[in-house]
Structure formats: structure tokens, C-alpha cells
Chains A and B, each alone.
Chain A
Amino acid sequence: MTHPDFLWADPSPKRGYDVVVIGAGGHGLATAYYLARNHGITNVAVLERGWLAGGNMARNTTIIRSNYLWDASAAIYEHSLKLWEGLSEELDYDILFSQRGVLNLAHSLPDVREGVRRVNANRLNGVDAEWLTPAEVKKLVPIINTSQELRYPVLGATFQPRAGIAKHDYVAWAFARAAHRLGVHLIQNCEVTGFLRDGDRVTGVETSRGTIEAARVALCAAGHTSVLAASLGFRLPLASHPLQALVSELLEQVLDTVVMSNAIHVYVSQAHKGELVMGAGVDAYNGYGQRGSFHVIESQMAAAVELFPIFARAHVLRTWAGIVDVSPDASPVLGLTPVEDVFVNCGWGTGGFKATPGAGWVYADTIAHGRPHPLAAPFALDRFTTGALVDEHGAAAVAH
């Protein structure tokens, strides 16, 4: 048997590039791809300290949706969802994008009010959204327990039919191959350890593979962005937390949509192969250790078993964690920085996988033109000074 063809090359770094992107997760790869595809900027390197897409991109639970409350969020996430809808074709790679719908359950009157309000806000923004009664939830998800005797009964749910999941590895590989074909250098085992400066400007990066000059530098380091910002001399409103997830053994198909519950803290989908994929909220403490505490797993399992009694017999195969960059308003930070020619894309926290194509598109445009793309403008760093926060805790608190 011969090895399948490599999807991208493994070049040594050149002396310099027009744009150096730090971090080859989904966002870094998509940014590089759209820099080349939309803006003709192909002299680009993506530098990755580990292996390509070995960070959160390999660890997330792949929920894709755009049913956020505020206009600014709906706009950027819906832009992303529209790109997802054409992405397999665009990248000529089947990323297993499955629009199986996402439910966000309500378990209390405040949940119901928040959900109905969000459905209405979504519709005004052209985002597909429906409010489902418990009976309608049961019809869509026959294995769910809608007994009103539960401590946290299902009182209804928001439903976004166009939402769904995709295969995260394929998404990364598809962007990597497409970027590589357009001339982008993907450089692994290359950790950025410092920056070259000329007065206020940054002119390159110091790496574990030597010095690399750069006309522009784009941070795409998710949970490690604060570390890079600190070495550039500015602060970001981020806390890095472990975020855990788990999968069961392979099972018969029992769930063909995605169910999320903010209130009792669990969400679940069933992957294409058959494993149940579950997650919940972050571990409370700051952490860069890519592991979390077991009680977090235990409590999400308890919630899952309450909602789906048949899961009681399933076995956990594996648990793991990524490091997510949580911002105070559960919204990203996307745009310019206090340092000239350095751009930032971070703060996606527990929910940035869904934004992969959208963030890459908008960030590439921001970098190419040296000003915020209109969809990025509300997510500028200065919102923490002006007070114009984009408070998505309602739609994003757990989740993803």
C-alpha cells in the first residue's frame, strides 16, 4: 500500500513574508486561504508551534449555528454559516457539513423568555429560527425525556434548522490544501517566541526556527493570544480556560440533530461514525494545561442521562480538553491592535469553530486593507473602553 498524497507541503521558512499568521488552527488556515483567494496576497506563512490544527481545532465538538441574539453577532455568524453552506464545493473537499439542526432547550420561565426573544431577534436578522413546544421537541428527538416531573423539565426549545455539525479535521485539511495550492507556506513546529520591532511597528517574528520578517502579523493563537500580546506590550480582556469534551463508544444512530442545554449544562450530538459527542462549560479556573477536572465531566454526564435516559448504558471512550480564550462579553476580539501592523483575532472562547470560514474571511479583509471589515468593526478591542459590549452570554454561555 502506498501512502496517500500529502495535502500540503512542509516548507522551510523563507526570510520574510507579506503576512505572517501565528497559529495554524482553523482560523489561521482560513485567514491565509482568504488572504490568497480574495485579496491576491499569497506571500503568506502560517506558523504553528505544534502540528497543523492540533489545538482547539482538533478538540472541538463542531457545532455550527448562527442563532445569536445581537445584530453584530448574527451578522458575522450568519456570514459564516452561509460560507459553510458552500464550503465543500469551494474547497473541493467533502467536509461532512450536515445541517441537522440545533435545539437550545429551555428549562425555566426565564429560559423560555430568552429563547422566544432570541427566535424573534434571529428572524428580524434573517436567521432561520423557530420556537418549539415540548411536544414538538419530543417529535424531533424521540429519545429525549420531556416528562414535566424532571427537576429541570423541558419547557420548549429554540430550533435553527440550518445549523449542524461538520468534520473538524477535514475542515482544517481542506483549508490547508487550498491555501497551499495558492502558494501559502504552512510551517509546523515553529513557535513564535518574540517580535522584531522598528519603533511602534512590528517588522517580524522570532521563532524556534529562526527570525522571519513580516510586513504584517496576524495573531490567530486562540488560548495563547494573551501570551503573545504580553510580549507585544498590550493587554487583552481574555482568560484562558480548559474546556473539556467527551465521546462515547460507537452506537447505533439514536440522535439525528444537536441538542444543547445551557441551564443544565450539557450538549450532545451523534457523530457520523456513531459516537455521542458531549460537552459543557469551561472549567472555572484559568489554565493552559489542556486538561480539566473530572467533576465537570461527571456533572455533564448526569445532565445528559437525565435528559436522555438511554445514555445511561453508554460508555465513555475518551475525554480531553482544549484551551479556550474567554472574553468578558462572550464575543470575539477582531481587528487592529495598539501595535502597528499587528492584527488580532481571538476571544472566540467556547464557540469559534462555527466562525472558522466567516472569521477567516473578515479577518483577511481587515489585514489586507489595514482597517476593520464592516462585520468586524463591532468586535474591536476598544469596545471595552467605550462600553459597547456585545453581550452574548444568553446565546453563548455554555456554548458553542
Chain B
Amino acid sequence: MLSVPCPWCGPRDETEFRYGGQAHVAYPDDPATLSDAEWAEYLFMHDNPKGWFAERWFHTAGCRRWFDVVRHTVTYAFEAPR
């Protein structure tokens, strides 16, 4: 099981969290003007790297806050929180 470093609660068992996928996918500034292709990019085309990945977690059974971490998708190691 992963030990997920919550920036507010410290490292906790993975079962306390929900996974949120890629971090920094900004909601479109002006959704009404988006083309179909831009919607597809926003909704579906997320990064899926083999290596370091900035991702979101939600501490469901703890502080109930979202946060971003950088984790390696092969070793599953988390980058030390700054």
C-alpha cells in the first residue's frame, strides 16, 4: 500500500485517500468559446507519463483537502514535499 504524504496530516495509508489524476489541468477560462477539439483535450487527453507525474489526491478520511504531489509512476516513490 502507498504511504501518501498529505501536506497537512503527514504520511498516511493510501486507503484514506481518493486519487484525482493529473494535477494542474485548469478549468477553461471561457468554456463557451471552446472548440470540440479543445473540449476533448481538456476532458480526455491527460498526460500518462512513465516517470515523474504531478497528480492530485484527496484526503477523504482525514483533513478532506485536495493537494498535489509528484510521484514516480514506475517506482511509485513520492517526491519529498517542499
B-binding residues in A (CB < 8 A): 224, 226-227, 230, 235-240, 284-289, 293-295, 328, 384-387
Contacts and interface: CB of A to CB of B under 8 A. Distances in A.
Interface in B15-72: 15, 18-19, 21, 36-37, 39-41, 43-50, 53, 55, 71
Which of the listed residues B1, B21, B44, B74 has the most CB atoms from chain A within 10 Å of its own CB? B44
A378 B66 CA distance: 36
A230 B73 contact: no
Given A284-B18, A286-B55, A239 B75 contact: no
Contact of B1 (A230, A235, A293, A384): A293
A328 B21 CA distance: 12
Given A240-B73, A289-B73, A387-B36, A284 B19 contact: yes
A235 B55 contact: no
A230 B2 contact: no
A287 B73 contact: yes
B40 A239 contact: no
Contacts of B39: 385
A394 to B, nearest CB: 19
B19 A386 contact: no
Given A288-B74, A385-B39, 10 more contacts: A235-B45, A237-B40, A237-B44, A238-B48, A239-B48, A240-B73, A288-B50, A289-B73, A295-B14, A384-B40
Given A235-B41, A235-B45, A288-B74, A293 B2 contact: yes
Given A227-B50, A286-B21, A385-B40, A295 B1 contact: yes
A230 B47 CA distance: 9
A286 B37 CA distance: 24
Contact of B44 (A287, A288, A384): A384
Contacts of A224: 50
Nearest to A234: B45
A57 B2 CA distance: 26
Contacts of A227: 48-50
B76 A236 contact: no
A286 B23 CA distance: 12
The 4 A-B pairs with the shortest beta carbon distances in the complex, nearest first, are A237-B44, A226-B48, A284-B19, A235-B45
Interface residues of B, number: 27
A237 B41 CA distance: 9
A289 B74 contact: yes
A236 B45 contact: yes
Contacts of B47: 235
A242 B47 CA distance: 16
Contact of B19 (A235, A285, A288): A285
Contacts of B71: 285
A109 B45 CA distance: 34
Which of the listed residues B39, B49, B73 has the most CB atoms from chain A within 10 Å of its own CB? B73
Contacts of A236: 45, 48
A328 B39 CA distance: 14
Contacts of B75: 289
Contact of B46 (A239, A284, A386): A239
Nearest to B37: A385
B73 A286 contact: yes
Contacts of A293: 1-2, 14
Nearest to A290: B74
Contacts of B44: 237, 328, 384
Contacts of A288: 50, 73-74
A347 to B, nearest CB: 11
Contact of B15 (A237, A238, A295, A386): A295
Contacts of B21: 239, 286
A237 B45 contact: yes
A387 B37 CA distance: 10
6 contacts: A230-B49, A235-B41, A235-B47, A289-B73, A294-B1, A295-B1
A386 B36 CA distance: 7
A241 to B, nearest CB: 10
Nearest to A327: B44
A297 to B, nearest CB: 10
Nearest to B4: A285
Nearest to A296: B1
